[in-house]
């Protein structure tokens, strides 16, 4: 699906996301098949590989409606109670205009300016600098902000963060990410359940141990006998474990594919809402490496504006790096990167060590800025003064915004 403008990028991303979610749901049936393989081995450990594969296929056909029902029940429970689960983990509480007039007014003004329904506003007592959106329908939508973010950011930066989270709601990212987390959680839960169940049975049950221990006569049998009888159980067990591991790994990869590009689109949407790319950039620079929510699960961190939990060599990072997000805003929205920003609570001198050198042309857009991923009309000024009036009237992505 080709994408030529900001909104076609959003539509294209939604289409790919739905395909990925369908694939994620299919992983549940992969786990059921793996569980059926293990069950057949436990029941009878002296069969051929072909027998186990065919028997597990028949078991999958029988279990298909039950697996679908359990998965649907899992989604329904999460649909109604996911916000309560998130609040119990983060400690987020609803606030009113009277309690937080500054934050409430900023969010309300953004919603009114674009005709967006006002989501619930929540505050969590935490010194970390972070925020996230949640909810699966208009009655559930909520934007949660930490107290640390309110203290560290000025009004324009907070407005940019709120615009980022509102964009997630407008684009349908919140629903997709919540559903992805739910299904991936189910895959991880049932995968671990099958693995633990088999581990216990293989050591404690007579059926499972029949293929685990062999007599001296069976150890001297031919390759043909091992493949045709008890040896098939070992091969099938390896296949089942490989399927469980593959299902878990693919569930994580799908979540990455859903979330990484969405953060870039949400940054772009925030600038489209606020017309202030510099505020989005400075907000990201302040939040950078300061967003860790102690005690929060990985599922909650994946919803946040920044997730500092990068994983092994960035392989399982759910968000693009702040540097790449800032670079995109500089190149395509005409913003300026001030580099890493120090906060009052930072150790003296730490900011100087982390501050990257800015090239002499840092305030000048690269030549590729005239043609961005959202169309040929993307245009940025060649200098801080050139084209400023035009950008202010057309938005950072030109006439298509």
pLDDT reported for residue 277: 95
- Give the DSSP H/E element, type plus range, for residue 383: none
Which H/E stretch holds residue 94? strand 93-94
List pLDDT tens digits, range 103-134.
999 999 999 988 888 999 999 999 999 999 98
Q: Which whole number is the average pLDDT over 336-355?
A: 67
From CA 15, how far away is CA 25, in angstroms rounded?
Answer: 16
Measured distance CA(256)–CA(267) in Å, rounded: 17
Q: Could you give the CA distance from residue 131 to residue 183 in angstroms, rounded to a whole number?
A: 23
pLDDT of residue 174: 81
Residue 265: count other Cβ atoms within 10 Å of its Cβ: 20
pTM, full prediction: 0.68
Distance CA 276, CA 18 (A): 31
**Average pLDDT value over all residues in the chain:** 75
Close Cβ partners of 252 (under 8 Å, ≥ 6 residues apart): 184, 316
Exactly one of 40, 157, 165, 272 is catalytic; which is it?
165
Three-state SS sequence of 117-177:
CCCEEEEECCCCCCEEEECCCCCCCEEEEEHHHHHHCCHHHHHHHHHHHHHHHHCCHHHHH
Residue 173: what pLDDT? 80
Tokens 């505050």 identify what position?
123
165 is catalytic: yes
Chain-centroid distance, C-alpha 99:
31
Residue 290 near residue 343, CB atoms below 8 Å: yes
pLDDT at 357 over 60: no
Task: Please give the Cα distance from 371 to 378 (Å, whole number).
Answer: 6
Residue 56's nearest CA partner among 28, 25, 30, 23 is 30
Domain definitions of the chain by residue range:
6-90+176-212+223-256, 93-174+260-364
**pLDDT score for 90:** 86
What confidence tens digit (pLDDT) does each residue in 359-387 have?
443 443 443 333 343 444 443 444 444 44
CB 137 within 8 A of CB 172: no
CATH class held by domain 93-174+260-364:
alpha beta
In this predicted structure, the answer to whether residue 285 has a pLDDT above a threshold of 70 is yes
Tokens of 117: 């329904």
Q: Which residues lie across from 146 on neighbouring strands?
A: 124
- How many helices (H) and strands (E) in the chain? 15, 4
10: confidence class by pLDDT, cuts 50, 70, 90: low
Q: What is the pLDDT of residue 259?
A: 62
Contact indicator for 40, 236 with CB cutoff of 8 Å: yes
pLDDT of 166 above 90:
yes
DSSP state of 48: -
Least confidently predicted of 19-28, 211-220, 288-297:
211-220
Q: Which of 8-17, 237-246, 294-303, 386-395 has the highest mean pLDDT?
A: 237-246
The per-residue pLDDT for 265 is 86
For residue 15, the model assigns a pLDDT of 67
């Amino acid at each position: 699906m080709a994408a030529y403008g900001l909104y076609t990028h959003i539509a294209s991303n939604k289409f790919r996301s739905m395909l990925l979610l369908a694939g994620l749901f299919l992983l549940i049936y992969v786990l059921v098949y793996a569980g059926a393989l293990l069950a057949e081995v436990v029941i009878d450990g002296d069969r051929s590989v072909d027998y186990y594969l065919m028997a597990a296929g028949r078991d999958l056909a029988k279990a298909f409606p039950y697996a679908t029902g359990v998965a649907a029940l899992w989604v329904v429970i999460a649909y109604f109670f996911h916000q309560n689960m998130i609040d119990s983990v983060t400690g987020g509480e609803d606030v009113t205009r009277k309690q937080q007039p500054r934050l409430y007014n900023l969010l309300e003004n953004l919603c009114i300016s674009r005709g967006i329904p006002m989501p619930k506003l929540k505050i969590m007592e935490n010194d970390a600098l972070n925020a996230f959106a949640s909810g699966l329908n208009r009655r559930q939508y909520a934007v949660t902000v930490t107290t640390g973010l309110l203290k560290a950011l000025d009004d324009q930066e907070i407005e940019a963060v709120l615009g980022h989270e509102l964009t997630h709601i407008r684009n349908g990212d919140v629903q997709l990410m919540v559903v992805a987390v739910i299904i991936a959680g189910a895959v991880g839960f049932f995968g671990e359940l099958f693995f633990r169940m088999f581990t216990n049975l293989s050591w404690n049950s007579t059926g499972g141990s029949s293929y685990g221990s062999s007599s001296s006569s069976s150890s001297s049998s031919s390759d043909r006998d091992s493949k045709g009888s008890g040896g098939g159980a070992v091969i099938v067990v390896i296949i089942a474990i490989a399927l469980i591991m593959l299902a878990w790994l693919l569930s994580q990869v799908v979540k990455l594919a859903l979330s990484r590009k969405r953060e870039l689109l949400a940054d772009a949407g925030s600038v489209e809402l606020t017309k202030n790319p510099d505020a989005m950039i400075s907000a990201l620079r302040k939040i950078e490496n300061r967003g860790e929510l102690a005690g929060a699960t990985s599922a909650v961190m994946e919803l946040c504006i920044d997730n500092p939990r990068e994983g092994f060599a960035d392989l399982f990072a759910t968000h693009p790096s702040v540097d790449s997000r800032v670079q995109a805003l500089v190149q395509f929205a005409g913003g300026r990167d001030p580099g890493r920003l120090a906060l009052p609570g930072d150790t003296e001198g730490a900011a100087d060590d982390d501050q990257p050198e800015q090239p002499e042309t840092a305030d000048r857009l690269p030549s590729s800025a005239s043609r961005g991923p959202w169309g040929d009309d993307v245009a940025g000024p060649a200098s801080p003064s050139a084209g400023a009036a035009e950008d202010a009237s057309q938005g950072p992505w030109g006439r298509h915004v």
